[in-house]
Chain A
Amino acid sequence: MKKDQDKDIVRPYVVDGIEEYDNPLPSWWVGLFWGTIVFGLGYLLWFHVMKKPGLDAELTAQRQAFEEQKQALQAANGGADSLEQRLKDPKAVAEGKAIFATNCAACHGQLGEGSIGPNLTDDFWIHGGGPDAIVATVTNGVPAKGMIAWESTLGVQNIEKVVAYVLSLKGSNPPNAKAPQGDEYKD
């Protein structure tokens, strides 16, 4: 049947004055219709019959890549400077201040005076007040007590910066400071 012949033939059934043509289907529509169905079958066949489903594997690969990147960063971190030196860098302290304001102030107060989390400006530390210990606390958190492990959120470098800032607060005596918790630490 040629297109022209079919065009605008009115069907015999007429209800309430409504007529219907029986025009042929637009060919692009037919193509779309079968195209999406064939694609769907192909997709199911390829991803669920020929190959193994991939979400788990994809996720594992992503996790691995992330771990590797993290280790590389850790290895490259800091260069020749020691942790102590890096933590005294004024640039790190300045950048750490911004990080502290967005991530830590909600629990430790804008000035580190403590609220939900402990006061970070005094000499008393629950988990140790040495630079290594503080970096470790921030990195791994204290999940049982509601201190977040910041490692995968902030990364090594930003953690050092924020710790640099925390150390710079020592002895700042902010108003409304929370009572000391933990043991005294002296360097």
Chain B
Amino acid sequence: MGQEHTTWITYDDRTAARFLWATILWGIVGMLVGAWAALELAYWPANAGQAWMTFGRIRPIHTDAMIFAFSGNAFFAGLYYSLQRLCKTRMWSDALSQLHYWGWQAIIAATAITLALGYTQGKEYAEMEFGIDIAITLVWVLMTVNVFATIAIRRVKHLYVAIWFYIASILTIAMLHVVNNLAIPVGLFKSYSIFGGVQDALVQWWYGHNAVGFLLTTPFLGMMYYFLPKAVQKPVYSYRLSILHFWSLIFIYIWAGPHHLLYTSLPEWAQSLGMVFSLALIAPSWGGMINGLLTMRGAWGRVRQEPILKFFVLALTFYGMATLEGPLLSIKSLNLLSHYTDWTIAHVHGGALGWLGGMVFAVAYYMVPKLWGRPLYSQKLANIHFWIATIGILLYVCSMWAAGLTEGLMWMATTSDGLLKYPQFIESVLAVKPLFWVRLVGGTLYLLGTVLCLYNLVRTTAGAEVRDERVMIQEDQHIPAKTMHERLEGRAMALAVFALLAVIIGGVVEFVPAFLMETKVPTVTSVRPYTPLELEGRDLYIREGCYNCHSQTVRMYHKEELRYGPASQAHEFVYDHPFQWGSKRTGPDLHREGGRYPDMWHYKHMLDPRSTSPGSIMPAYPWLLEARVDREMLTAKVGAMKALGVPYDADTLKDPKKSYGDQAIQIVGRLAQDGVIVSSDSELIALIAYLQSLGKLETKSTLGANNP
């Protein structure tokens, strides 16, 4: 080796270390919020009568924290650590690294605060309002520039498989985030999605499914390819498998979103695409798992002692399990049973706690001793962490499987007369309530394990500093590329373009026809828009996060119809910006709620759900009664809707307050007959109007008119 071709470089390890602390700290916060949400489902008064603590507000904080803060920061920690070493160069710009770090933490803090205050877009896992979305986009761009510039100045021509995964993740998340969050602002903290109804459902679950794919899966597969061989000190099992599973995974993943919308009014061909592509995902996913597990050949004896390897095994096992379970749950007939139940919750936590958590902890226990140049404070404690976490996951997942099955079977159970065996929704709620406690125990154990991890890492690093590693780099030996793919591995831009193409195709094929079809729906003549009062009520529904417990679409299945009423049709949702179909029925579906009960029932139920539905776990919303609607916002809201194509008439556009008042007075009058006096500006009135409009928008009457 020619000594003359060597250089010394210093890696930026401080950024990786910072991201790692952020991962663990935000992880603990996010898990704590999750555990609290779990507690509220078992024991609703745990919300302490505070609006910001109710389930509908804190569940998004939990999910977004786990996705953007825990998973996001962990990805960046692993990215900064491994990318520099795989490219044999320091990050291109320290300033950008810093901006990325602080920007990202600010985004997370802002998200938590605004969500608690009820500023939300009402789209799952994309709840943060448009201001934060813009910030995310900017920070993401900074990061992307830094990463690509680092790749450009690399001293290794050949891009290692970990980097393929990083590139695909970064580009895909950018695409998903920007498209799904397109919205029209109405004021500083409020916006309406530009997509509506079925279109919005399609876009949202394209996003939702692939956020899981490209923020919780592919970055960590990339990290697996770096950290696992490092930790076991063995070569990766199969390069060919890497190639095949990388390209097939990113290409196929994108198509699978519609499996969240089976049996709904989404065009059936799109549903079928969602199902078959989900099934086709098994092998690509398992490719990653077996490449990981087989890399550990000959190292199994060390798993017993080494917590790092234990966490890798945990991660890969749960990865394999979740990526089999997911496709199976996408099979239409099984989905009919499992969807909207807690089975989905079991599924996602198998992935999140097992796979994602396992990867994060493996990487954390690997990186910290390296970064601080010290052995781990206690191997024993790390092993205890592993066992607590494993028991926690098992309790969590098993209890939610049991709950999901119970719910699914009870909802669909019929008597010999063909009638629902459990017609009252509350019956299944009461049946699964004990399991909510078991889940809480499981989740709390997992959280405890994470706290142990933090303690262990703090003790390991106490008194020491991160030493930016300084290494001597030798000139890359030139090895001529033999295959097409090896040639591609030498060209970052080409690789990025191909990856982007692979992830764009699925979206385009599904969106374009679905959007064209939408224009054929006979909307204008048969569906009326929400009145200003109902629109306001809808915004409150979104603000309180009711969609975290209620779905709003009756599936095309007769037993659903028996329970809820006629199956929902696509055109009924055209003015829903955003759609509110939800993903989970902790409470019953609400799409046919309109006219089901008198106003007085809703009045009593919203103030105290136990008064009408003994045993209910729904939060009470007494503050809605006192809170007043700001009628001044109405003009802007109606105007924004008009801009989105909702056909409000000139009168409504000019003076929505009049229509608002007229309709509110009618409800106030009906409640007065039953003996309660409510102000017509009360938020509760708007919410009741909205609930009474659900499923009732089909009409031939003049549009935009007052039509309670």
Contact = CB atoms under 8 A, between A and B. Distances in A.
Interface of A: 10-13, 15-26, 29, 32-33, 36-37, 39-41, 43-44, 47-48, 53-56, 58-59, 62-63, 65-66, 69-70, 73, 102-103, 106-107, 116-117, 143-146, 148, 152-155, 157-158
Nearest to A106: B612
Contacts of B160: 13, 15, 18
B280 interface: yes
Given A33-B284, A40-B280, A59-B558, A22 B238 contact: yes
B286 A20 contact: no
User: Which residue of B86, B415, B419, B557 has the most chain A CB atoms within 10 A of its CB atom?
Assistant: B419
B702 interface: no
A47 B272 contact: yes
Closest 3 CB pairs of A and B: A146-B598, A40-B276, A62-B558
User: Which residue of B158, B235, B286, B562 has the most chain A CB atoms within 10 A of its CB atom?
Assistant: B235
Contacts of A44: 269, 272-273, 276
Contact of B158 (A13, A17, A70, A116): A13
A116 B597 CA distance: 9
A69 to B, nearest CB: 5
Interface stretch (B67-75, B100-108, B241-249): B241-249
B290 A116 contact: no
A163 to B, nearest CB: 16
Nearest to B295: A21
A101 B317 CA distance: 48
B326 interface: no
A146 B240 CA distance: 64
Given A19-B229, A25-B241, A116-B601, A36 B279 contact: yes
B237 A21 contact: yes
B424 A102 contact: yes
Given A16-B88, A26-B290, A66-B418, 20 more contacts: A11-B239, A15-B156, A16-B230, A18-B230, A18-B236, A22-B239, A23-B241, A25-B240, A33-B287, A36-B282, A43-B275, A44-B273, A58-B556, A59-B567, A103-B423, A107-B597, A107-B601, A148-B597, A152-B562, A153-B423
15 contacts: A11-B239, A19-B235, A20-B235, A32-B283, A36-B280, A53-B272, A59-B557, A59-B558, A59-B561, A63-B558, A70-B418, A106-B612, A144-B595, A152-B419, A153-B423
B604 interface: yes
Contact of A37 (B156, B280, B423): B280
A102 B612 CA distance: 11
User: SS class of chain A's interface: helix, strand, loop or mixed?
Assistant: helix
A20 to B, nearest CB: 4
Interface in B546-575: 556-558, 561-562, 567
User: SS class of chain B's interface: helix, strand, loop or mixed?
Assistant: helix
A160 to B, nearest CB: 13
B674 interface: yes
A11 B489 CA distance: 14
B236 A20 contact: yes
B613 interface: yes
Interface in B363-422: 415, 417-420
A39 B279 contact: yes
B230 A36 contact: no
A33 B273 contact: no
Contacts of A41: 276
B479 interface: yes
A126 to B, nearest CB: 13
B417 A23 contact: no
A65 to B, nearest CB: 8
Contacts of A43: 272, 275-276
Nearest to A145: B598
B654 interface: no
A29 B279 contact: no
B674 A116 contact: yes
B268 interface: yes
B419 A18 contact: no
Contacts of A11: 239
B226 interface: yes
A181 to B, nearest CB: 11
A102 B604 CA distance: 18
Nearest to A55: B556
A44 B509 CA distance: 15
B239 A20 contact: yes
Nearest to B160: A15
Nearest to A10: B235
A12 B479 contact: yes
A29 B286 contact: yes
B69 to A, nearest CB: 28
A48 B272 contact: yes
B302 interface: no
Nearest to B418: A69
Contacts of A47: 272
A7 B107 CA distance: 48
Given A32-B283, A53-B268, A116 B604 contact: yes
B556 A59 contact: yes
B334 to A, nearest CB: 15
Nearest to A61: B558
B238 A23 contact: yes
A55 to B, nearest CB: 5
Contacts of A154: 419, 423
